[in-house]
């Protein structure tokens, strides 16, 4: 067992989601996208990156 287990979001119907690989710099900037592994399930979750959170904070101010 390793201590580096990633704790990602879970689909309420199907269980743990798997992280999507970022294909563009924009996606990498936005954060990590997680998607349900079930073929017909469209549930997805965005885990915002620190960069994105910083930008949002600036916009808010
Ligand atoms: Zn699902």
Distance 40 CA to ligand 1 centre (A): 8
Distance 23 CA to ligand 1 centre (A): 22
Q: Which residues have CB under 8 Å from 22's CB, separation 6+?
A: 28, 32, 33
CB under 8 A, 24+ apart: contacts of 18-25: 20/44
pLDDT at 41: 96
Ion ligand 1 — residues with CB < 5 Å: 11, 13-14, 36, 38, 41, 43
Query: Is the distance from CB of 17 to CB of 35 less than 8 angstroms?
Result: yes
pLDDT at 3: 54
pLDDT at 61: 64
Predicted structure pTM score? 0.70
Q: What is the mean pLDDT of each run of 10 residues along the chain (61 residues)?
A: 68 94 89 94 94 89 64
Element containing residue 54 per DSSP (H, E): helix 50-60
Domain positions in the chain? 25-61
Query: Is the distance from CB of 10 to CB of 17 less than 8 angstroms?
Result: yes
């Amino acid at each position: 067992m390793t201590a580096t287990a990633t704790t990602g979001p879970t689909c309420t119907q199907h269980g743990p989601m798997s992280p999507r690989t970022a294909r563009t710099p924009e996606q990498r900037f936005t954060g990590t996208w997680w998607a349900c592994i079930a073929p017909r399930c469209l549930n997805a979750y965005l885990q915002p990156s620190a960069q994105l959170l910083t930008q949002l904070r600036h916009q808010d101010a």
